[in-house]
Amino acid sequence: MAAAPDIHGTVAPGFEPVRDAFTENFTRRGEVGAGVCIWHRGRLVVDLWGGVADPASGRAWEADTPTTMFSSTKGMSALCLLMLAERGRLDYDAPVADYWPGFAQAGKAGITVRTLLNHRAGVVGFDEPLCIEDFELRPERVVEICERQAPAWEPGTKQGYHGVTFGPYAAELFRRASGGQTIGQFFAEHVAGPLGADVYIGLPEEHDARVATTLGPTLADKLLRVVPKLFLHRGIEGRVFRQAVQRSSCTRRAFAHPADLGAAGLANYNTYRVRRLELPWCNGVGTARGLARVYQALVAGGTLDGVTLARPESLTPVHARQSWVERDEVLRKPLGFSQGFIKEETHLFCPNTTMFGHPGAGGSLGMADPTAGVALGYVMNKMGPYVRSPRALALCHALYRSPGLQAGQAA
């Protein structure tokens, strides 16, 4: 068991189990640096941070330390699209090609915005290779590859997590529907800026020195966890790992390109070259406080401290599982989506089906639970070889067994 670092911050009475789980993440589950922030029924009840942001320099994790959120970025992108729809600029049930005519190529003419955002379009991976330079210097090539990509199944008939493709498709759809503004620009102007939320899709250079260093799985992690799962694990983790090495599987296709922004390219996320780009599926940067603040606005009906992101009636449809399957074609588990937000199994992050948000590779998590009145943001810098992070799960399970939350539910 590792020694616990100094844990900083505050916990409201009745939510002490979250502090215990946060501490145990360091002592038992390999946490290096992290922050977690939780609101409950309009009250900040957990605001904790600890550990090391950069082991090489010894820089400590502070209250305002941001880190790369990986797929938790998708939740912020989904919010921007929801806000665009509320403004009358986007119709979820209209064909994507109405906004982006080139999208209609290769059998995609009938795919609606909702089908695309709910991971049912079949454009589950890119058959043509892409790299950082394409997003950096040749964005028109990214658009052309999106247009040429054919679906892996008849659109609407299956669901498979569009782990990478969600981002480029959402980005171009947003740009076309908004009249030229990018998701990152819109998010800064209409979400993060007004709320004072320390979250970015496309990081301004003045914030780069604060960002925690992303730490990939060690050789020991791979030998002790990945290899046994690949060959011996009979559950979800084993299924995903085995599918990931099968050349023709949807799981492999979903994460094959761009390779330098995938598992083999984790070091690239520690460069400002990548952080400054708008990659709305993987490179959002934020603090636990910032992520929780955005979701608190959504739990509160769309308005927080006088800042309105959306009306309650625009958020209500997201509370339901718009798409749900017992075995997602990519993640090989029960899973659902609503307009780009993830809908998870009730034994994982949250016991209520109204929960919406998005986890990220390694463990980061942003979520809203309208039923319990909970908003949560968790960010960390140590990646792990898991489909769902045991550290994020430990925090969520501790939250829902906390006397403070249970008392609020009873009331």
**CA 10 to the chain's CA centroid:** 25
**CA nearest neighbour of 309 among 205, 199, 175:** 199
* Cα gap 160→163, rounded to integer Å: 9
Question: Is 399:393 a contact under the CB 8 Å cutoff?
Answer: no
218: left (phi over 0), alpha (psi -120 to 50) or beta: beta
Based on the residue annotation, tell me whether 71 is a catalytic residue of this protein.
yes
From the list 57, 71, 248, 338, the catalytic residue is: 71
**Cα separation of 244 and 131, whole Å?**
20
Largest CA distance in the chain: 57
Side chain identity at residue 40, one-letter code: H
Give the Å distances, CA to CA, from 1 to 29, 90, 260: 9, 52, 34
To the nearest 10 degrees (0 to 180), the angle between helices 390-400 and 16-28 is 160
Q: Partners of 59 in the beta sheet?
A: 54
Q: Look-up: residue for tokens 């993830």?
A: 342
As annotated, the active-site residues are 71
